[in-house]
Chains A and B, each alone.
Chain A
Amino acid sequence: MECSEFDDIADLYLGDELQGETNHEVLQHLEGCAACRRELAARREFRARLRAAFYGDAAFSVRPEFEERLRADLRSKALGPAIARPALFRRINGWPVAIAASLLIAVGIGLFTLQQRRLSQPPPADVATTGGDARTAAKRNVEVSVPPAQHQESPGVRNTSFALSEAAIGDHRDCAIKFNLAEDPIDLEEAGRKYDAAFTNLTSVVKTRSEDSAGQFEFIESHSCVFKGQRFAHVVLNHRGSVVSFLIAEREQDGKNTRTGQAAPPNDARLEVVACSSSGQFQVSCFETARHVVFVVSDLREADNLAVARAFAPALHEHIARSENTA
């Protein structure tokens, strides 16, 4: 390499922009050329001086009040005004807030425990003797099923238990999203033979319906899995980039909800698909047959999740009801 060539690429060398081979040639040239070594040192120092001039000039420093205002403005734009705390609470920071929050949580847990105890007792005579007025029972169920803070049930939920719905969310999260179940899933057809006849051929029902959707749904996989002791048939689809789980569980052996004693809807009753709960980022829609509950869980918006459930409900309901009637 000649000195003139080095002169042309010395800055590229300093900026680490040269390819390995050329870099090597530069190094070789520098080894034998004192003038170019001085030139390189001069350029390096020049850069250092230029940088120091910028960094050392107070005019180029951000004013702290600007930084604070910018951060607050961006935060408010990102999270919306609802996140900004009211003026009253801005003054209350640290331990007082933590203690108040702890007290509230403790009271909440206490109330929840009391309600759970009431639930475990036999139903009152009026519900038992009348055989269960559906609306009264549904209302009562919503009233007593106050969930923990993270979980919201809609008034649309009928006699689907909170625990089952929560298990469906947990299964969707741990199985479909995180692939982190304690117990390995098994083949759905095998589960159909061993545990629940309604699971048999579920895959083909969902696949057929997906194929009719003009590419809106993409079948990912199906299996049977267990979340905290609750077995589900689990069919996973992709809908507009979101993972959607169909989770089918047997509700009670005698077709009744043991918590409320409420009768399950007969299979010839009008199919009702509702947005039944939400937790964190997940929305849950559900419908029931005489002995099963079908949950549709995803991170879609509530209305979109419900629309997905409604799109598949007739085919799934027909399949499950047929298996129940045959059994």
Chain B
Amino acid sequence: MFRSARQVKREDQWAAFEGEALPCLDYLYRIAMWLTRNHTEAEDIVQETFTEALKSFHRYEPGTNCRAWLVTIMYHLNSKRLRAGSKLRLVYDSEIRASATAAYILPTPQGITDEDILSALHALPVQFQEVVVLSDVEDMTYKEISAALGVPIGTVMSRLHRGRKLLRAELLTCANEHGIGRARDEVSGQASPFAG
């Protein structure tokens, strides 16, 4: 059947999009859920992200990191969404809090549940949450996170450092609340609920 040059081009573009962008759906949805905490909103933002990506797919360079490109679009759309809904959360500087946190401690499967971990993450200021999720959960590089969030790499690194420290502190609090941990961490000398 005769197909116009435009139709052929469209089909080629769709095939490329289907092959490169759509496999990132699970990944994008996880981040969207984390950002919105709501299924409907997460689906909306994922749909918007893919629609936007389809429109500008000609700008995507094949072979580069499509996942990081999509996350950049999603964060851009999410910022707009928050501004439009006046829901932008102001983030306080947690440096003082971070500096007072404990040294690294080993979470133990028996003591800390997945729910505890997610709750502890939720308790962090959003700017720390997002870098921890993008780096430690979704394995994005500092450079990719920097592009997605529109902040310098140095800021990504310092937020990650602080974010991880805060998260550990939250987990320690959580463990203490559960009465977990009686041993002492041999390195830090602090009470640790996680020692073997």
Interface residues of A (CB under 8 A from B): 11-12, 15, 17, 35, 38-39, 41-43, 45-47, 49-54, 56-57, 59-63, 66-67, 70-71, 73-75, 77-80, 149-152, 278, 280-283, 299, 301
Contacts and interface: CB of A to CB of B under 8 A. Distances in A.
Contacts of A15: 135, 141-142
Size class of the contact patch on chain B: 35 or more
A70 B25 contact: yes
Given A53-B117, A78-B14, 18 more contacts: A15-B141, A38-B106, A42-B105, A42-B194, A46-B164, A49-B112, A49-B117, A50-B137, A54-B118, A57-B118, A60-B29, A61-B26, A63-B39, A66-B43, A73-B51, A75-B18, A79-B14, A149-B2
Contacts of B136: 47, 50-51
B132 interface: yes
Nearest to A80: B10
Interface in B24-50: 25-26, 29-30, 33-34, 39, 43, 46-47, 50
A283 B47 contact: no
B52 to A, nearest CB: 11
B35 to A, nearest CB: 12
Interface string B15-29: 001100010011001
B161 interface: yes
22 contacts: A17-B142, A35-B186, A35-B187, A46-B104, A46-B106, A46-B107, A50-B117, A59-B33, A61-B26, A62-B29, A63-B39, A67-B25, A70-B43, A73-B47, A79-B11, A80-B10, A149-B1, A278-B2, A278-B5, A280-B3, A299-B5, A301-B6
Given A149-B2, A281-B5, A53 B54 contact: no
Contact of A45 (B33, B46, B107): B107
A77 B22 CA distance: 14
A124 B23 CA distance: 62
Given A60-B30, A73-B47, A78-B14, A51 B137 contact: yes
Contacts of B61: none
B22 to A, nearest CB: 7
Contacts of B33: 59-60
Interface in B88-122: 104-107, 109, 112, 114-115, 117-118, 121
Given A52-B114, A60-B33, A66-B43, A46 B160 contact: no
A278 to B, nearest CB: 8
Nearest to A281: B5
B145 to A, nearest CB: 10
B135 A282 contact: no
B13 interface: yes
A8 to B, nearest CB: 8
B151 interface: no
A187 B46 CA distance: 56
**Main SS of chain B's interface residues?**
helix
B25 to A, nearest CB: 6
B58 to A, nearest CB: 12
Given A62-B29, A70-B25, A281-B8, A17 B141 contact: yes
A53 B107 CA distance: 13
Contacts of B194: 42
Contacts of A43: 104
Contacts of B132: 50
B9 interface: yes
Please list the 4 inter-chain residue pairs (A to B) with the smallest Cβ-Cβ separation, ordered nearest first: A53-B114, A78-B14, A42-B106, A281-B5
Contacts of B39: 59, 63
A77 B2 contact: no
A282 B5 contact: yes
A320 B105 CA distance: 86
Contacts of B1: 149
Contacts of A41: 106
A39 B186 CA distance: 11
A299 B6 CA distance: 9
B194 to A, nearest CB: 8
B2 A150 contact: yes
A74 B10 contact: no
Nearest to B29: A62
Contacts of B10: 78-80
